[in-house]
Amino acid sequence: MADAVTSTTISDGSHKAVIQITGLSDGTGESAVTKVDVSALNSRPSDGTACSGVTIQKLYHSVVGYTQVQLLWDATTDTIAIALAESSNGHMDFTDVGGIKNTSGSGKTGDIQLTTVGAANLDSYVIILELLKQYG
């Protein structure tokens, strides 16, 4: 068996995308699984330029179990965007500080990946990301 996971696009506009990701573990866990593929987001309507990255503006989460759930910026060496604590829930708004920007280095793709730490059977998460899209 494998963990049961979903990634659902709630909205994908010219400036903003909202993505909901969920997971229910069978104890296997996830390691650097792509949850937001920026190349799959809609292009800029005015000129067709592809989305090349995102900034995390807001995050809503519910984590049951797991030692930690990590959101990662995909690159040659992934960097942690944010780590969510064991059995936690809440809402984080980063708009006043310009959002959480991609700080990864070489090989940066713009994608967001997820890793779970300390997975046990029936651990779960629901994460909703409000993302500001970047082009070019």
Question: DSSP secondary structure string, 96-120?
Answer: GGT-B-----TT----EEEEEES--
pLDDT of residue 2: 87
21 close to 48: Cβ distance less than 8 angstroms:
no
Measured distance CA(42)–CA(52) in Å, rounded = 11
- Spell out, as residue ranges, where the chain has pLDDT lower than 50: none
What type of residue is 55?
T
The gap between the terminal CA atoms of the chain, to the nearest Å, is 40
Q: Which residues, 6 or more positions from 104, have their beta carbon under 8 angstroms from its beta carbon?
A: 73, 74, 75, 77, 78, 79
Measured distance CA(36)–CA(69) in Å, rounded = 15
Measured distance CA(10)–CA(6) in Å, rounded = 12
Sorted by where each starts, the structural domains of the chain and their CATH numbers stand as 4-135 (2.60.120)
pTM value is 0.95
pLDDT of residue 1: 63
73 close to 115: Cβ distance less than 8 angstroms:
no
